[in-house]
């Protein structure tokens, strides 16, 4: 086994899988290659629920060349009947002799069964290559399939002195164009964007995907316990479905063009975990949390934020709204730093190594 060659082709499957961002939920991102004598003879990626799976696309693309070839795939092949037939059947019948996949699919209907079926039919199976990268690419799916709760990404644009805005200055962009484009790329990847009522009242955001090519429009979730969202707010005139999370029973009458989730308050707030549980039941696998400071603080204190995207400008604001509304307990996270024009993006995230 040449690990370097296997790594190269697995990285290529990750690139293919990314083409499905924003369209495959609640399924995983999957890319697949059929390789024979060191040459790629078939390619495929998952294009959405009910559509052909990546491995079947790659094998069909390879045709007769699949016999005796190696299948590289970014996650374990499926082995059950759903909206498509089991991919293991096609892998076996095609004559594939070896399968390389970084991780198991934790779906209880798969979870190692796909690998076992292949090995029982004389196919060599190699796993564990670039495992962490595979888990990161499918972080949304891996969390959702295990906990039925969405993966939560907190996004904030901050000045160097930790401010996210200043009501006295009105609405203005803290960070530059490159940072905004990165935010819109993340919007296009997730199932939903969530804000608190304070953000609606202060910024009147549209919460749409605009600065990159949109493959879908995420749900727009507003936490609004007292129903203060204006009926002429931008979210109602833009693309995308709206969800209002509130404690008021009369919400259905006020917002006829929105889905209403009604919760009971605890200690003066709607419990964050109850919102996420409802979102999971609704089929939402990922949420981009965009503000404001009270909402950020409540989600962090609830221990539900999986990843942070902190976009820092190179300016000081002086006065203004702080990133968080109250102090937090100390927590150590893994980080990455990236330059975006004049801005700096700090990514901080939990890594679930035992998924």
HEC states along 304-347?
Answer: CCCEEEEEECCCCCCCCEECCCCCCCCCCCEEEEEEECCEEEEE
Per-residue pLDDT at 316 exceeds 70: yes
Instruction: Name the nearest CA neighbour of 288 among 204, 174, 163, 182.
Output: 182
Per-residue pLDDT at 355 exceeds 80: no
Q: Is 55 a catalytic residue?
A: yes
What is the pLDDT at residue 332?
Answer: 78
Instruction: Name the nearest CA neighbour of 227 among 193, 207, 252.
Output: 252
Looking at domain 149-349, which CATH architecture does it have? Answer: 3-Layer(aba) Sandwich (3.40)
Provide DSSP, 3-19.
HHHHHHHHHHHHHHHGG
Q: In what order do the strands lie in the sheet with 31-36?
A: 39-45, 31-36, 70-73, 98-101, 124-127
Question: Considering 12, 21, 55, 182, which one is annotated as catalytic?
Answer: 55
Helix (H, G, I), strand (E, B), or coil: what is residue 161? Answer: coil
Per-residue pLDDT tens for 253-263?
Answer: 889 899 999 99
Helix (H, G, I), strand (E, B), or coil: what is residue 49? Answer: coil
Of 52-61, 106-115, 314-323, the poorest mean pLDDT is in 314-323
Per-residue pLDDT tens for 96-155?
Answer: 999 999 999 999 999 999 999 999 999 999 999 999 999 999 999 999 999 999 999 999
Looking at domain 3-140, which CATH architecture does it have? Answer: 3-Layer(aba) Sandwich (3.40)
CATH 3.40.140.10 residue ranges of the chain are 3-140
What is the pLDDT at residue 354?
Answer: 44
Of 203-207, 248-252, 350-354, the poorest mean pLDDT is in 350-354
Buried b (16+ CB within 10 A) or exposed e, 107-122: beebeebbbebbeeee
- 237: CB partners within 8 A, 6+ apart: none
CATH 3.40.430.10 residue ranges of the chain are 149-349
> What is the distance between the alpha carbons of residues 251 and 5, in angstroms, rounded to a whole number?
57
Helix (H, G, I), strand (E, B), or coil: what is residue 66? Answer: helix
Per-residue pLDDT at 82 exceeds 70: yes
Peptide bond into 292 cis (omega under 30): yes
- HSE toward the beta carbon, residue 132, CA cutoff 13 A: 4
Average pLDDT over residues 19-24: 96
Confidence band of 1 (pLDDT split at 50, 70, 90): low
What is the pLDDT at residue 353?
Answer: 45
Per-residue pLDDT at 21 exceeds 60: yes
> What is the distance between the alpha carbons of residues 7 and 10, in angstroms, rounded to a whole number?
5
């Amino acid at each position: 086994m040449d690990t370097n060659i296997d790594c190269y082709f697995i990285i290529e499957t990750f690139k293919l899988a990314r083409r499905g961002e924003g369209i495959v939920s609640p399924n995983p991102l999957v890319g697949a290659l059929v390789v024979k004598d060191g040459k790629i003879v078939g390619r495929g990626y998952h294009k959405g629920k009910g559509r052909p799976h990546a491995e079947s696309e790659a094998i069909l693309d390879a045709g007769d060349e699949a016999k005796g070839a190696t299948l590289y795939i970014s996650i374990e092949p499926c082995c059950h009947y759903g909206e498509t037939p089991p991919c293991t059947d096609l892998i076996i019948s095609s004559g594939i002799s070896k399968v390389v996949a970084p991780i198991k699919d934790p779906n209880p209907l798969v979870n190692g069964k796909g690998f076992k079926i292949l090995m029982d039919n004389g196919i060599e199976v190699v796993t564990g290559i670039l495992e962490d990268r595979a888990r990161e690419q499918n972080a949304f799916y891996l969390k959702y399939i295990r906990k039925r709760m969405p993966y939560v990404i907190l996004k904030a644009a901050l000045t160097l002195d930790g401010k996210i805005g200043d009501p006295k200055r009105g609405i203005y962009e803290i960070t530059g164009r490159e940072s905004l484009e990165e935010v819109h790329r993340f919007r296009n990847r997730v199932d939903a964007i969530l804000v608190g009522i304070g953000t609606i009242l202060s910024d009147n955001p549209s919460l749409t995907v605009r600065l990159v090519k949109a493959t879908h429009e995420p749900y727009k979730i507003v936490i609004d316990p007292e129903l203060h969202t204006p009926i002429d707010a931008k979210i109602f005139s833009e693309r995308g479905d709206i969800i209002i999370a509130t404690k008021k029973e009369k919400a259905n009458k006020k917002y006829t063009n929105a889905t209403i989730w009604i919760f009971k308050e605890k200690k003066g707030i709607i419990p964050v975990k109850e919102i996420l549980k409802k979102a999971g039941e609704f089929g939402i696998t990922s949420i981009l949390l965009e503000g404001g400071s009270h909402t950020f603080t409540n989600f962090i204190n609830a221990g539900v934020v999986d990843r942070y995207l902190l976009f820092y400008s190179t300016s000081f604001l002086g006065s203004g709204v702080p990133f968080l509304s109250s102090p937090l307990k100390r927590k150590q996270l893994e980080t990455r730093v990236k330059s975006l024009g004049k801005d700096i993006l700090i990514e901080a995230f939990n890594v679930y190594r035992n998924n």
